[in-house]
Structure 1
Amino acid sequence: MTNSAAGTQGESRAARFLADAGMSVVGRNFRSQYGEVDIIAKDGDTLVFVEVKSWRGYGFDALEQSIDMKKQRRIIETAKYFLSSHREYNSMAVRFDVVFVSPRDIQHLVSAFME
């Protein structure tokens, strides 16, 4: 399986996981000039921007380190762009989560980082 296919499969698993946890997915693979957000979901009155990491060969500790400040900044700027173009969500609280997907496990880090 290619890295791209594994990433797409991981994002689909993560979206199902979030939906099963009661969140509603409102967007996937949202792109802007700043970057991309894998999943955008509503969790009650909170809009959640989710980065999905799907890796087979590394533990979750290595995955956590892969989301450095530069990556976080890109996600935050993309989230701001999303909110500016989707004003219906402007009254909602915002959160940034990370979902790590491996072949056997899914780990969800709520409020993984902040602006």
Structure 2
Amino acid sequence: MNNKEIGKLGEDFTIDFLNKRGFIILERNYKVPLGEVDIIAQKGDLLIFIEVKTRRNLDFGIPAEAVDRTKQNRIKKIAELYISTKKPKFKKIRFDIMSIILSKSGKILDWEYLINAF
């Protein structure tokens, strides 16, 4: 399994997780020249930018640790671009992280959804 396939498995799991909890998916893999946000969702009057990190092991720490200050700042800038371009009407925004550990065969072993992660 390559990194792209691993990432897609994690994003597919996250989309399913969010849908089951009443979120509306607005964008998946929203790309601008500055970078990408994995998922943009809505729940009520809340606009949520979600970074999904999926790993096959903990050799480099838990997946969420990969969303360092630099990555957080980039996601915030992409969020500003999204809001200025799409002009969505939301009272609040939030930044969440889905952290996923897979087995070698691609089965989800563990996950954690971090609300308001940064």
For normalisation by structure 2, the TM-score amounts to 0.87
Which residue identity lines up with residue 107 of structure 1 in the other structure? E
In structure 1, the partner of 2:2 is 2
1:105 to 100, 106, 110: 110
% identical aligned pairs: 35
Report the CA distance between 1:92 and its aligned residue.
3.0
Q: Which runs of 5+ in 2 are unaligned?
A: 102-107
Does the 8 Å contact 2:99/2:113 carry over to 1? yes
Corresponding pairs, count: 112
Does the 8 Å contact 2:41/2:49 carry over to 1? yes
4+ runs deviating over 4 angstroms: none
Which residue identity lines up with residue 92 of structure 2 in the other structure? A
Superposition CA RMSD, Å: 1.7
In structure 2, the partner of 1:21 is 21
- What secondary structure is seen at the aligned counterpart in 2 of 1:82? helix
**Per-residue displacement from partner, 1:25-68 (whole Å, max 9, x unpaired)?**
11100011221100000011100000000111018x53232111
Pairs within 5 Å for 1:87-102: 87=87, 89-102=88-101
For normalisation by structure 1, the TM-score amounts to 0.89
Q: Which has the higher helix share?
A: 1
